[in-house]
Structure 1
Amino acid sequence: MRPLPLALVALTAMTLVLGTAQPFPPAANAEPFNVAPAPPAVRDFMNRAVPPPRVPRPMRPDPRAASPTIDRQSQALRAALLPSPTGDPFFDRWPANLARMRPGTVLTVRTVTPTAGPALDHPIRRAVQLKFATTDSHGAPSVGTATLVYPTVRWPGRKPTPVLVNNVAIDSLGMRCTPGYTMSHVRDAGTNAPDRVPPTIQWALDRGFIVLVPDHEGARMAYAEPIAAGRVVLDSIRAMLNQDDQTGGNLGIGTAPLVMSGFSGGAIAAHGAVKELDRYAPELTGRILGTALGGLPADFAMLPGSMNANLATGVLHVATLGIIRERPELLADANNLAQWMMMSPIKDACTVPAGLLGPTMWPMQLLSKSGDPFHSPLAKQLYAITAMRGIPSATPLFVYHGTFEWWVPAAGARQFVAEQCRLGVSVEYHEFPAEHFGSAFLGYPDALTWLASRVNRTPFRPSVIPRTISGCAN
């Protein structure tokens, strides 16, 4: 049986939605329409209309697909929805003895100076890529990569030169969409835009920072999964320090102070890192002097209401697939249409193409076997895991957000700040009169100024841009 054209399936499903919708307005305290369960007729139609995809059998086992929590058939499906290889062995190959290596063990090192400068559109002195051992969110062995970029100007503050661990908003599914791949290859039409927008890396280099840029989505490109991302970030720091120590200071790091930043998808990674720091990499506690988080989706439970069935739906689809790659147990609620989509070229999409999926505005309910993807036990478990509530940040925080955020509501950032204050963390919160992208450009200069003040142990003086300032000092 051939699958029905997706446009026909969606049109029929939406017709059923409208035909079975309640004729009376919902109660005042009811959830938005785009979060409510699909009517049973729609759910049943979607489960019948699309046949299961043909899952290819890999010629050789993919180490990224292995998992003790799913059966062999599900592992084959997982392998089919993972990103395609890049063709560059630096990113594609896994060592056979990876399970015996400590997280942060350096596997390969190479210089990428000739391509990194043009990729960043900025002068650099040197760029080095590190490939290292890490672990996924379940503790299984994995591989990570990161790029260390050196400025052409001297750090004007306290010596030694600090390192900024900058987590860019990769927000993608394809292995060629990482900043590491971009900086080691000739830039082309598919290169990821967030490597340069906003220009946090470039500003940091102009201020004299050495910048470490982790490919924080990991070997599975698990966009939006904070625990795996946080571990990649921490292990990239370990790898940098290990390589510097093993080469007699060749990287020039030594006792350099470390600070960290991330915006949007990059903030998810930095959030995971500060929450995992004390228990996963306790030797780094105290070495990282501060972390700046901008546009943080702190509570994923808020996102269906703000991103489902509207122009942000493409991003929500991509984030869901990213999390499923890391947590394959979520496949249990993915219907056949969802599986077709996850195995399609979408699995290798970068930020811009992924965002353009939004105009389809297909509700997530159309991709769920249960028709209720936002209230299931799996969903509630996911919300709890990704929020990482009750865990204090292991570093002081500078948090910035937009008051008029419609995709990532400011209420989530405010609740995050309030909780971290209750847990005894020092937090400075700046809320700008902007939405997501506006707050990125308004906030990142002050974020870097705050991080520099942490390194130099000087008072932080914000710019004159209007904003609401709150937080706590502990």
Structure 2
Amino acid sequence: MPSVADPGNATTPDPTPPADHPDPGPSAFQRWLDDRIPAPSAVLPGTGSAATEPENPADPAGMWNKIQSSPTGDPFFDDSPADIAKYAPGDVIESRDVSWPGVPMVFLTVLTPVQKAIQVKFRTTDSAGAPSFGTATLLLPFTPWKGPGSRPVLLNAPPINALNRRCTPGYVFSHGYDLTSGNGNDFVPSPTMWAASQNYAVVIPDHEGPLMAYAEPTVAGHIMLDTVRAIRHLMPDQFGESRFAMTGYSGGAIASYAGAMLAPEYAPELAPNLVGAAMGGLPSDYESFAKTFDGTYASGLMLTVTLALAREHPEILTRMNHLAQWAATSPLKDVCSSTMADVGIFVPYAALANMSDPLHTEFADTLFRKLSLKGKKAGMPIYVYNGLHDPWMPVANAEKFYAEQCALGVPATKSIVGGEHILGYFDGFLGSTQWLGERLSGAPVRNACEVAPRPDAAPRHSDSNSAPSGVPRTGNPSASPGR
């Protein structure tokens, strides 16, 4: 079984004030469902619609154990050391050479020749602040680095979007591809292809963490940052002074976004090494997404994400009815992304909850706050791109995030490209990789922010780089140089 922190550690009370929506009890339909569908034998008494008595809340531990990813059989991915608390975040627990079958698998999945594949297992921190572990795969190119300084490193966060550890890039690189695993869901062209062509090193983190908590931003951000720490510790002579940039699209954008947002508070010592984060098709507003697509063609994906989040936030489990409990403990808990979107389409949250209106409750408001990184300031320059006609990740959300970061003083660049969600990736690839190349080469940051002055701000003295009044600034040659 997974070796992870006690799920009780993930139930720390949220410090924010109560929301405006009291939690309702189950509807008549939900009670009818629970009366006709018995609870799975693995679920403790007091769950489903019975879990509404505040003086005797259900203990989710039995259910929590049953919803975990099935073991891979490889202790590197399955087991946490008993003494993990003695390690500091980013400390290397274990490393291994997986050039076979890793090098052929990299070529088969993203058409990229590399010389060596090394996997590293390191200490990280889960969403509740408890010790956990992460894994990542370092890919080294054939040609020695002859540029200035240390070899730059790109963290590529592919959209893993899965519930089983066999679906991660790390497992596939070390064990090969089979019908029960995925390929890490990287695209072609891939940032890995681009980085290798520039003679950069590439690191591919398994950013969903050991619980496969798909879309949990704190877990993903911590793993991205601890990956940087681990690579610097693993090969200090080669990467101790390297520039690191990160990138991701869609599900992978959650990781690059969270890494950028959490860097100042979680890994401030990395500031000189973290030169930029690119993110495209970013799901930055979980609340809006859930309420917009509840019960639609996208509901299968949302329900899968909810199951994944319950691994880090087990309080979700006591809000499930019996039907949801059966689904969460079934083979669905091990799906890869190729099948998850087809599971539960057009099924609303209310059909699987024990609250009549589950998305408009105090509990839902509290959970959305826990999952939100809104208001944080990125600890590095950012590049935001989005498809103009993306129905999943509306362009308005990308514009809003970009404007918020500009207002906080972050050197930011945005690119609104043609296409919907998939075409948006391809249309934005060249722009994002060009920007990443500038950051990794140490070129000055081109701050493309267009921020209107705050009403309470003092008037600015004009200078040679200022635009005339009423004309937005589209560049800033005096912006601080890239690291």
The two structures have a TM-score, normalised by structure 1, of 0.82
Question: Which residue in the other structure is 2:407 paired with?
Answer: 422
Decide which of 305, 313, 330 is 1:344's aligned counterpart. 330
Residues 213-222 or 311-320, more deviating: 311-320
Question: Which residue in the other structure is 1:297 paired with?
Answer: 283
Decide which of 165, 175, 188 is 1:185's aligned counterpart. 175
Q: Structure 1 residues 432, 188: CA separation in 2 closer, same or farther (over 3 Å shift)?
A: same
Decide which of 36, 49, 52 is 1:49's aligned counterpart. 36
Question: Which residue in the other structure is 1:327 paired with?
Answer: 313
What is the RMSD computed on CA atoms of the aligned residues? 2.5
Superposed CA deviations along residues 49-98 of structure 1, whole A, max 9, x for unmatched, are 322111179xxxxxxxxxxxx98941121110010110011111211111
1:134-283, aligned counterparts within 5 Å? 134-153=124-143, 158-198=148-188, 199-245=190-236, 249=237, 252-283=238-269
In 1, distance between residues paired with 2:290 and 2:80? Answer: 36
Code of the residue aligned with 2:42 in structure 1: it is V
- Cα deviation, residue 403, structure 1: 1.4
Q: Structure 1 residues 307, 38: CA separation in 2 closer, same or farther (over 3 Å shift)?
A: farther
- Cα deviation, residue 154, structure 1: 5.7
Aligned partners of 1:274 and 1:394 also within 8 Å: yes
Matched, 1:408 2:393: yes
Aligned partners of 1:163 and 1:209 also within 8 Å: yes
- Cα deviation, residue 312, structure 1: 1.9
Aligned partners of 2:26 and 2:354 also within 8 Å: no
- Cα deviation, residue 362, structure 1: 1.2
User: Alignment length, in residue pairs?
Assistant: 413
SS of the residue 1:86 aligns to: coil
Decide which of 353, 362, 365 is 2:350's aligned counterpart. 365
- Cα deviation, residue 133, structure 1: 1.1
Code of the residue aligned with 2:438 in structure 1: it is S
Question: Which residue in the other structure is 2:438 paired with?
Answer: 453
In 1, distance between residues paired with 2:430 and 2:148? Answer: 20
Aligned partners of 2:177 and 2:183 also within 8 Å: no
- Cα deviation, residue 315, structure 1: 1.2
SS of the residue 2:235 aligns to: helix
In 1, distance between residues paired with 2:284 and 2:174? Answer: 32
Question: Which residue in the other structure is 2:7 paired with?
Answer: none
- Cα deviation, residue 156, structure 1: 7.5
- Cα deviation, residue 380, structure 1: 1.1
Aligned partners of 2:228 and 2:244 also within 8 Å: no
In 2, distance between residues paired with 1:188 and 1:460? Answer: 43
1:352-391, aligned counterparts within 5 Å? 352-358=338-344, 360-391=345-376
Matched, 1:83 2:88: no
Question: Which residue in the other structure is 1:28 paired with?
Answer: none
Q: Structure 1 residues 181, 71: CA separation in 2 closer, same or farther (over 3 Å shift)?
A: farther
Aligned partners of 2:291 and 2:359 also within 8 Å: no
- Cα deviation, residue 306, structure 1: 4.0
- Cα deviation, residue 397, structure 1: 0.4
1:427-446, aligned counterparts within 5 Å? 427-446=412-431
- Cα deviation, residue 301, structure 1: 1.2
Matched, 1:314 2:305: no
Q: Structure 1 residues 302, 155: CA separation in 2 closer, same or farther (over 3 Å shift)?
A: farther
SS of the residue 2:175 aligns to: coil
Code of the residue aligned with 2:195 in structure 1: it is A
- Cα deviation, residue 274, structure 1: 1.3
Q: Structure 1 residues 389, 162: CA separation in 2 closer, same or farther (over 3 Å shift)?
A: same
Code of the residue aligned with 2:290 in structure 1: it is P
Aligned partners of 1:400 and 1:430 also within 8 Å: yes
Code of the residue aligned with 1:148 in structure 2: it is L
Decide which of 114, 117, 132 is 1:124's aligned counterpart. 114
Which structure features the higher share of helix residues? Answer: 1
Code of the residue aligned with 2:154 in structure 1: it is L
Superposed CA deviations along residues 254-274 of structure 1, whole A, max 9, x for unmatched, are 311111111111111122211
Question: Which residue in the other structure is 1:22 paired with?
Answer: none
Q: Structure 1 residues 295, 159: CA separation in 2 closer, same or farther (over 3 Å shift)?
A: same
In 2, distance between residues paired with 1:85 and 1:418? Answer: 43
Q: Structure 1 residues 317, 449: CA separation in 2 closer, same or farther (over 3 Å shift)?
A: same
Aligned partners of 1:94 and 1:143 also within 8 Å: yes
Code of the residue aligned with 2:165 in structure 1: it is M
Code of the residue aligned with 2:150 in structure 1: it is P
Q: Which runs of 4+ in 1 moved over 6 A?
A: 469-472
Residues 146-155 or 85-94, more deviating: 146-155
Superposed CA deviations along residues 4-53 of structure 1, whole A, max 9, x for unmatched, are xxxxxxxxxxxxxxxxxxxxxxxxxxxxxxxxx99944333333332211
Aligned partners of 1:450 and 1:460 also within 8 Å: no
Code of the residue aligned with 1:447 in structure 2: it is S
Unaligned runs of 5+ in 2: 1-23, 45-55, 447-471
Aligned partners of 1:230 and 1:269 also within 8 Å: yes
Q: Structure 1 residues 472, 310: CA separation in 2 closer, same or farther (over 3 Å shift)?
A: farther
In 1, distance between residues paired with 2:475 and 2:281? Answer: 19
In 1, distance between residues paired with 2:37 and 2:147? Answer: 62
Q: Structure 1 residues 39, 139: CA separation in 2 closer, same or farther (over 3 Å shift)?
A: closer
Q: Structure 1 residues 460, 288: CA separation in 2 closer, same or farther (over 3 Å shift)?
A: closer
The two structures have a TM-score, normalised by structure 2, of 0.80
SS of the residue 1:184 aligns to: helix
Code of the residue aligned with 2:231 in structure 1: it is M
SS of the residue 1:144 aligns to: strand
In 2, distance between residues paired with 1:356 and 1:101? Answer: 40
Aligned partners of 1:119 and 1:186 also within 8 Å: yes
1:89-104, aligned counterparts within 5 Å? 89-104=75-90
Superposed CA deviations along residues 315-349 of structure 1, whole A, max 9, x for unmatched, are 11111111111111122211111111111111111
Unaligned runs of 5+ in 1: 1-36, 58-69, 462-468
Q: Structure 1 residues 399, 38: CA separation in 2 closer, same or farther (over 3 Å shift)?
A: farther
In 1, distance between residues paired with 2:202 and 2:376? Answer: 27
Aligned partners of 2:167 and 2:184 also within 8 Å: no
Code of the residue aligned with 2:95 in structure 1: it is V
Aligned partners of 1:421 and 1:471 also within 8 Å: no
